[in-house]
Amino acid sequence: MSGLVESATAIMRMAERRLDVVAHNVANISTPGYKRRIGFAQAVAARSATDLPEIATRFDAGQAQLSETGNAFDLAISGDGYFRVRAGDRMLYSRQGQFRRDAEGSLVTPQGYVLQQVGGGDLRIDGVAMRVGQDGIVLDGGRPVARIAVERAGDPAAMTAVGESFFSAPEGAMEEAEGSLVRQGMLEGSNVSLGDEMTQSMVAVRQAESGARLIQLYDELMGRANSAFGGNGR
């Protein structure tokens, strides 16, 4: 009988996790460069006959809509790949292209992460008249000074979400994203769809209802068992 309770608990835990993923996605529907999280059932090593799959998450790397901002420091990627940025001593990757020029001339995200150039090193410009070609080459005052690093993962599963719009990757996991274009004065939005999230929330609610029905069935069976054993004892 305890197996029913364990199964019901596992089902309701999966439903709760699905709703958490949905809520996280909806909260980031306006976050530039955010990639939708997807909850899926992941098989785990069985510890007992009642073990059920657990909910794990991956991210949807699909291209979101690009919108024009007119800000020369806003950048978007058309195609595969991520901007490489330096967060202290750590390298991160993101489709969030909101940059500004700091006091040292570096292009930084709102979080202060520094945009990197091909071959390594912070991307710095002397003035505000920056032009970026679709090939990622940066012109400062009409003079080419660097090329923006746009990289992709050979195995997307190697990337791990860090915060909302950033990812980390193991050493050697990233490579140049050939064929991708850099769009100046544009931003990529979030690829979250409210319709998809509503569907996932309905799936989670149905799961929770299934778990609740199992608990109700357990209570009914225990009630019958108690009545039967109580009757035999008289």
Per-residue pLDDT of the chain (234 residues; tens, 9 = 90+): 556 667 677 777 778 888 888 999 999 999 999 999 987 654 444 444 445 555 567 888 899 999 999 899 999 999 999 999 999 999 999 999 999 999 999 999 999 999 999 999 999 998 778 999 999 999 998 899 999 999 999 898 899 999 889 999 999 999 999 999 999 999 999 999 989 888 888 887 777 777 667 666 666 766 776 777 765 554
pLDDT the model gives residue 45: 44
Site of tokens 């195609």: 79
Question: How does pLDDT run across 145-181, given as a tens digit for each residue?
Answer: 999 999 999 898 899 999 889 999 999 999 999 999 9
Residue bearing tokens 């990622």 = 136
pTM as predicted: 0.78
Q: Which helix (H) or strand (E) holds 184?
A: strand 181-184
What is the Cβ-side half-sphere exposure of residue 104, based on CA atoms within 13 angstroms?
Answer: 9
> Is 85 in contact with 92 (CB distance < 8 Å)?
yes
Tokens found for residue 109: 């995200």
Contact present, 214 and 221 (Cβ < 8 Å): no
- Taking alpha carbons only, the member of 52, 27, 50 closest to residue 37 is 27
List the one residue out of 85, 131, 133 whose CA is nearest residue 111.
85
Q: How far is CA 107 from the centre of its chain?
A: 24
Token pair, residue 89, equals 């001593």
